[in-house]
Amino acid sequence: MAVTRKEEERALNAEEREVVNSSRHPDVQDVADADLDALQQRLRHFRDKARTLANQKRREIRGKAAPRGSHPVTSDEGSSMKLAVISMALKRVNAEVQRRDDFAKSHSLVENAHKALLMKQQSEKNKIPFNTRHANLGIRDIPDTKTVSLINPMERGRQKKAAGVAQARRDNHNA
């Protein structure tokens, strides 16, 4: 759901507005990792607080909870808007954290590949085999332990069927 800046300003207080604005695209990339974790924790705290308030207001509207203020609540639009805005900000921060984790993983893979290449090049210079894990004699034939039958399987099946038919004839004739 798209929310305008005006609606955001109306839904959030000054502290929340500052935190949500720091979660936007160009600013969030300049934040250090430790500060990003702190920002994520603050947004989670604000989101949980807004969720609790929105749930309380919805319960008041349904008549399941006593009113907290001097007069009963008639709608929870403001609290649900605050919850939506903070949740979107938290989603942006989570995406940035995930992006940084993915970048770190791919960066470590590249470093490991460069390290392996350097090791291989050094071993070629020193005439030392790089990969010493290889088969000495290669693939060897393993002899089959079952006895080899010289009878064609089709012939065996034909004889089995003929014996069955002959037995059936004898059974019918004797009965």
Contact (Cβ atoms closer than 8 angstroms) between residue 12 and residue 85: yes
Taking only the tens place, the pLDDT of each residue in 64-85 is 887 777 777 777 778 889 999 9
Task: List the single range of 2-6, 110-114, 134-138, 150-154 with lowest mean pLDDT.
Answer: 134-138
60 inside domain: yes
Chain centroid to CA 80: how far? 29
58 inside domain: yes
Q: How far apart are CA 76 and CA 82, in angstroms?
A: 10
84 inside domain: yes
Parent domain of 18 = 5-105
155 inside domain: no
Query: Which pLDDT belongs to residue 136?
Result: 63
21 inside domain: yes
Q: What is the mean pLDDT of residues 81-94?
A: 93
Chain centroid to CA 154: how far? 54
Taking only the tens place, the pLDDT of each residue in 8-31 is 888 888 899 899 888 988 889 888
135 inside domain: no
What is the reported pTM? 0.60
Report the chain's mean pLDDT, rounded to a whole number. Answer: 86
SS (H, E, C) 8-74: HHHHCCHHHHHHHHCCCHHHHHCCCHHHHHHHHHHHHHHHHHHHHHHHHHHHHHHCCCCCCCCCCCC
Q: What is the mean pLDDT of residues 49-57?
A: 90
Our count of domains for the chain comes to: 1
Taking only the tens place, the pLDDT of each residue in 27-43 is 898 889 899 999 999 99
Both structure tokens of 72: 């009963």
96 inside domain: yes
Q: How far apart are CA 82 and CA 130, in angstroms?
A: 61
Q: How far apart are CA 54 and CA 45, in angstroms?
A: 14
142 inside domain: no
